[in-house]
Amino acid sequence: MKKILVTGSNGFLASRFIDFYKDKYDIVPLTRNTLDITVENQVLDFFKHNKFDLVFHTAAISDTQKCEREPDLAEEINVRSTLNIAKACTLKNSTLVFASSDQIFNGNSNNGPYAETILPNPNTVYGHTKFECETRIKEFMDNYYNLRLTWLFTFPERCKKVNTNIITNTLNAIFNNSKLKLSDNEFRGMTYVYDVIENFEKLITLPYGDYNYGSENNLSTYDIACYLLKSMNLSNRIDSTLIMDAERFKDLKRDLRISNKKLKENSIIFPITTEGLMKCIYDFGINK
């Protein structure tokens, strides 16, 4: 049985990953209360006394606005901790699986979808920290997977962290009888979190390297929200809930779309975003 260390174990992705694989792998959950991964000597000492086959490093400040407000903190949590984990992995040859982000492409001027061969040009603090991590990991080790994750979604679940995603944002607007303003000029992948988790076992059989890891999507954020409501038989709530923002990103479209052609060539198939939404709706028994 493989032994897997999961950092940020209380987080949106990690908590679901741990639940999903708890009977298949020997999983060691790690939170900041267990170990301060920004302190190098503590991390190295922890790894000296433990042997992990895999380290799934998800711990990070993912709130992009917080990163902009506190860039030094983002550098400490996102970058320093990752470098400490990468160095520690080399002690006993642990494979690192790093949760990066499609937001490393946020400043690219050419249109997506972006392949792994495209040079990222991040223009946010969060994007910079993730791309710096990807770059620096390669200085320490060869046995790594950099996963460029897209915006993950699912319905809320008991005792699990809820992130802001296309489902929760749209449903909260309905429940609160408020308006949700979404751009018609933003294009990004959105991925059902359990598709990310279920494909993990195939991922770790692939050659090491960078992978765009999530769903492709050619619809705007506004159109995806409309699709969601229609799929849940809530078409009558579109006009009262959603506002199409045609001004935001009008001059330069926000295009974070990834190409997962590399994954497909290695027999890992992610459904496109609309298919992932339908799968999620089915899995949670909506409209059954």
Q: 14: closest CA among 269, 196, 150? A: 196
Task: Note the pLDDT of residue 288.
Answer: 54
Side chain identity at residue 66, one-letter code = K
Set out the domains of the chain in order of their start, with CATH numbers: 3-153+190-216+257-271 (3.40.50.720)
The sign of the CA dihedral 188, 194, 200, 202 is negative
CB 255 within 8 A of CB 108: yes
Complete DSSP assignment for 47-81: HHT---SEEEE--S---HHHHHH-HHHHIIIIIIH
Q: What is the DSSP letter of 131?
A: H
Q: Structure tokens of 285?
A: 């028994």
Interval 205-241: pLDDT, tens: 999 999 999 999 999 999 999 999 999 999 999 999 9
pLDDT tens-place values along the chain, 288 residues long:
899 999 999 999 999 999 999 999 999 999 989 999 999 999 999 999 999 999 999 999 999 999 999 999 999 999 999 999 999 999 999 999 999 999 999 999 899 999 999 999 999 999 999 999 999 999 989 999 999 999 999 999 988 888 899 999 999 999 999 999 999 999 999 999 999 999 999 999 999 999 999 999 999 999 999 999 999 999 999 999 999 999 999 988 999 999 999 999 999 999 999 999 999 999 999 865
